[in-house]
Amino acid sequence: MNRTDTEKTPVTLLGLGAMGTALARSWLAAGHPLTVWNRTPSRARALAAEGARTVESAAAAVAANTLVVVCLLDDASVEDTLTGTDLTGKDLVNLTTGTPSQARARAAWAAERGARYLAGGIMAVPPMIGVPGAGGFVLHSGARDLFDQCRDTLAVPAGAVHVGENPGHAALHDVALLSAMYGMFAGAAHAFALIRREDIDPTAFAPLLADWLTAMAGAVHGTAEQLRDGDYTKGVTSTLAMQVAGTPTFLGTAEEQGVSPELLAPFFALMRRRLDEGGGEEDLTGVIDLLVSRPE
């Protein structure tokens, strides 16, 4: 295909749910020729009015362009949609959320059908798509050369980050980052519960909470260095012994405020276990080893 530098790569997009529609609009806004298909055709109508080409079947959409992006509900819907399409010579980018093993199996499945394959994980909600500076990004894993060839197009909806050749690693990073997010939300839920019955305006409390979480987020770099070096006492400022000694204050305050400790208690129990095993001079990194099951 001869294309000048100013011509934009044509894209096929399968799946026009909330996320697929946001992706579609970002590629249209950036001037990429876009062919779309959705199981429920009515969802494609607005995009057709905005310049997308709509086709009657997934097979026709796949046939339209080399670069084929799928953003569907789950791995089963990807199989449903792509079965019966001709993937020979296609560059298939799957932005559907799934597990690492599903991603590896789907990569092998695509290779058997003659496609090059990138797995993706979208770290954004639809309003962040196509909005520079919104903070969203998309994780990709699979062949580095394919990622490099498609990078400019893949970076249109949100920053594109390659996290390795193993096709399962985008999903693994995705779930790891979202798991950390849920831990943060759990902590925030407990914090709001503590102030709930007091004369404290939650909207005045929220900026303090956001600032504190932001200030603490950088601690993950120290954790990463300790894991890399295998030295959990390196650079410790708040020892596990000190932190465990403080847990009765947290549990006592929860009791005083009529708040269940059920979100905090499991983490405190792990901290206590690590302390009892001799990790008092570490900070929290040793807890990670308690979570990882070891091969028999």
Q: Whole-number minimum distance, CB 179 to ligand FVH, in Å? A: 14
List the interface residues with ligand FVH, window 199-218 (CB under 6 A).
Answer: none
> SS3 of 173, please?
helix
State the DSSP H helix or E strand holding residue 36, giving kind and residue range, or none if neither.
Answer: strand 34-37
Q: Tell me if 23 contacts ligand FVH by CB under 6 A.
A: no
Residue pair 125/100 in contact by the 8 Å Cβ criterion: no
Q: Tell me if 18 contacts ligand FVH by CB under 6 A.
A: yes
Exactly one of 34, 71, 194, 240 binds ligand FVH (CB under 6 A); that residue is: 71
Q: Tell me if 157 contacts ligand FVH by CB under 6 A.
A: no
**Which residue, 126 or 222, is less far from ligand FVH as judged by CB?**
126
Structure tokens at 130: 């196509």
Q: Tell me if 65 contacts ligand FVH by CB under 6 A.
A: no
**Which residue, 83 or 238, is less far from ligand FVH as judged by CB?**
83
CA distances from 201 to 41, 187, 211, 259 (A): 47, 18, 16, 18
Q: Tell me if 140 contacts ligand FVH by CB under 6 A.
A: no
Q: Whole-number minimum distance, CB 25 to ligand FVH, in Å? A: 13
**Which residue, 8 or 39, is less far from ligand FVH as judged by CB?**
39
**Which residue, 40 or 237, is less far from ligand FVH as judged by CB?**
40
- For residue 3, the number of C-alpha atoms closer than 13 Å in the C-beta half-sphere is 9
User: Which DSSP category does 294 fall into?
Assistant: P
Q: Whole-number minimum distance, CB 49 to ligand FVH, in Å? A: 17
Exactly one of 97, 102, 141, 285 binds ligand FVH (CB under 6 A); that residue is: 97
Q: How far apart are CA 98 and CA 78, in angstroms?
A: 10
Q: How far apart are CA 143 and CA 162, in angstroms?
A: 9
Q: Is 199 exposed, middle or buried (0-12, 13-18, 19+ CB in 10 A)?
A: exposed
Q: How far apart are CA 88 and CA 239, in angstroms?
A: 57
State the DSSP H helix or E strand holding residue 11, giving kind and residue range, or none if neither.
Answer: strand 11-14
Exactly one of 2, 40, 88, 237 binds ligand FVH (CB under 6 A); that residue is: 40
Residue pair 23/45 in contact by the 8 Å Cβ criterion: no
Q: Whole-number minimum distance, CB 17 to ligand FVH, in Å? A: 2
Q: Tell me if 182 contacts ligand FVH by CB under 6 A.
A: no
Stretch that binds ligand FVH, among 15-23, 26-34, 60-68, 107-115 (CB under 6 A): 15-23
Q: Whole-number minimum distance, CB 158 to ligand FVH, in Å? A: 10
Q: Tell me if 120 contacts ligand FVH by CB under 6 A.
A: no
State the DSSP H helix or E strand holding residue 13, giving kind and residue range, or none if neither.
Answer: strand 11-14
Q: Tell me if 94 contacts ligand FVH by CB under 6 A.
A: no
Residue pair 68/12 in contact by the 8 Å Cβ criterion: yes
How many other C-beta atoms can be found within 10 angstroms of the C-beta atom of residue 174? 24
Exactly one of 8, 17, 195, 273 binds ligand FVH (CB under 6 A); that residue is: 17
Binding site for ligand FVH (CB under 6 A): 15-20, 38-40, 43, 71-74, 77, 80-81, 96-97, 122, 125-126
